[in-house]
Amino acid sequence: MTLRDFVNKLLGRQPASATTAKQRLQLVLAHDRSDLNPELLEQMRREIFEVVSRYVEIDLEEGDVSLETEDRVTALVANLPIRRTKPLPEAEPDPVWSASQA
Amino acid sequence: MPVTTSGSRSILICSGKGGVGKTTLTANLGIALARQGMRTAVLDADFGLRNLDLLLGLENRIVYTAQEVLSGNCRLDQALVKHKQEPNLALLPAGNPRMLEWLKPEDMQTIVGMLREHFDVVLIDCPAGIEDGFKNAAGAAEEAIVITTPEVSAVRDADRVIGLLNTRGIQPIQLVLNRVRPKMMANQEMLGVDDVTDILALPLLGLVLEDEQVIVSTNRGEPLTLNGSGSPAAQAYNNIARRVCGEDVPLLDPAKVRRGLRAKIGRLMHTKIF
């Protein structure tokens, strides 16, 4: 954030248009560069939530999986606030894990 | 297939988006390089919408084009249009738009290979878009200059083109930022130089200020670099030419173009606070 953005925020004005332009570009380029279609990204997001939810209780409202880009490298960034950790899933023991314990 | 002539360079001038200044850069850089003593060829690879001849003021002197050279109907030197005031510069005009139906990347490589045997630098004026015209032109180049303006659509399209150039192994790829308006940048109402270079992650070859003289010079068919004009764009093109030749010329700082108290406050407002 630049000093101008801060002053604008104080005065309740919109941020400078260059700041908005940069943010919009970074988002759209992350998608352009990864060449992932939105449907696939949505499916991946659901599956990531599913896997993580097995271990911890996450806040689905606040959770977000998105693409970010820096220096022409695109990263998948998952931000999943944890409500609380779940007790270890005793009910469905992993077959490989139980075998090695035996 | 491309004839690699040691020491000769082939540079693609491209942008993705149309109308950001590819042809103007090709014409001005071509003249500026020629004036520095480089034997320079400019190749109009935009067969659909050719304009390089017009910007160079050579439109009335075209006899043959790249098409006749490729089909063997004339020799290369018959098709080349030498610039009268700057004899180190020659234009190879684009052929008929129908060429697009049969032209292949190999044809482009053949032409550029022929040019490289006779010239120190070959500048290839690439068509807009990322379709066949772009692919044909890119296939014949070893280096690239990507030109863009500080606008979201131009930067986005430039990014697509850079991705394609990277996968083709074209190196180096350098950036020219065109139509810079220092006042708007100071007010943060235009993407800043650092914003664009951050996003595109390319080294900056030059900054060209918005300059009305560019329009005047295209009206006349006399590129700004031809007559030693001191206008801001002319200086920028000359500096780009010197950097292409390996000279270390400091980059313009748009914030320093403006003087006075308002400019000072503008610079202060740029301070990153967090």
Q: Could you read off the pLDDT of B168-193 as tens digits, one per residue?
A: 999 999 999 999 999 999 999 999 99
**How much is the pLDDT for A68?**
80
Question: Hey, are the CB atoms on A1 and B273 less than 8 Å from each other?
Answer: yes
Cα B242 from Cα B247, distance rounded (Å): 5
- pLDDT at position B158 over 60: yes
Residue B2 domain flag: no
Contact list in B for residue A28 (CB cut-off 8 A) is 156
Question: What is the nearest CA distance from A7 to chain B, expressed in angstroms?
Answer: 9
**How much is the pLDDT for B265?**
77
- Mean pLDDT rounded to a whole number for chain A: 80
Residue B66 domain flag: yes
- What is the phi/psi pair of residue B250, to 5°? -60, 145
Cα A18 from Cα B252, distance rounded (Å): 20
Question: Hey, are the CB atoms on A2 and B270 less than 8 Å from each other?
Answer: yes
Question: Hey, are the CB atoms on B268 and A22 less than 8 Å from each other?
Answer: no
Instruction: Give the confidence band of B3 by pLDDT, cuts at 50, 70, 90.
Output: very low
- pLDDT at position B165 over 90: yes
Alpha-carbon separation of residue A3 from A19, A25, B50, B266, B272 (angstroms): 12, 21, 46, 10, 6
Return the structure tokens found at B204. Answer: 């900056």
- pLDDT at position A88 over 70: no
Stretch A73-96: mean pLDDT, rounded? 73
Residue A63, C-beta contacts closer than 8 angstroms, at least 6 positions apart: A49, A78, A79, A80, A81
**How much is the pLDDT for A85?**
77
Residue B274 domain flag: no
Residue B197 domain flag: yes
CATH of the domain at B80: 3.40.50.300
B196-231 residue pLDDT tens:
999 999 999 999 999 999 999 999 999 999 988 889
A32-50 residue pLDDT tens:
888 777 788 888 888 988 8
Tell whether A34 lies on the interface with B, counting CB pairs under 8 A. Answer: no
Tell whether A6 lies on the interface with B, counting CB pairs under 8 A. Answer: yes
**How much is the pLDDT for A102?**
41
- pLDDT at position A101 over 80: no
DSSP conformation letters of A13-54: PPPPHHHHHHHHHHHHHHHHHHT--HHHHHHHHHHHHHHHHH
Alpha-carbon separation of residue B182 from A8, B211, B224 (angstroms): 21, 11, 21
Q: Tell me how many domains chain B contains.
A: 1
User: Does ipTM surpass 0.90 in this model?
Assistant: no
Amino acid identity of B85? Q
Stretch B33-51: mean pLDDT, rounded? 95
Amino acid identity of A43? Q
Residue A17, C-beta contacts closer than 8 angstroms, at least 6 positions apart: B188, B189, B190
Tracing tokens 């003593």 back to the chain, one arrives at B37
Share of chain B above pLDDT 90, in %: 82
B188: domain range? Answer: 9-269
**How much is the pLDDT for B228?**
83
- Mean pLDDT rounded to a whole number for chain B: 93
Parallel, antiparallel or unpaired: strands A82-85 and A56-58 = antiparallel
Give B116's strand partners.
Answer: none
> Which is more confident, B274 or B50?
B50
Residue B68 domain flag: yes
How is chain A split into domains, by residue range? 3-86
Share of chain A above pLDDT 70, in %: 85
- pLDDT at position A71 over 90: no
**How much is the pLDDT for A93?**
54
Interface test with A, best of B17, B188, B190 (most A CBs within 10 A): B188
Share of chain B above pLDDT 70, in %: 97
Instruction: Give the confidence band of A92 by pLDDT, cuts at 50, 70, 90.
Output: low
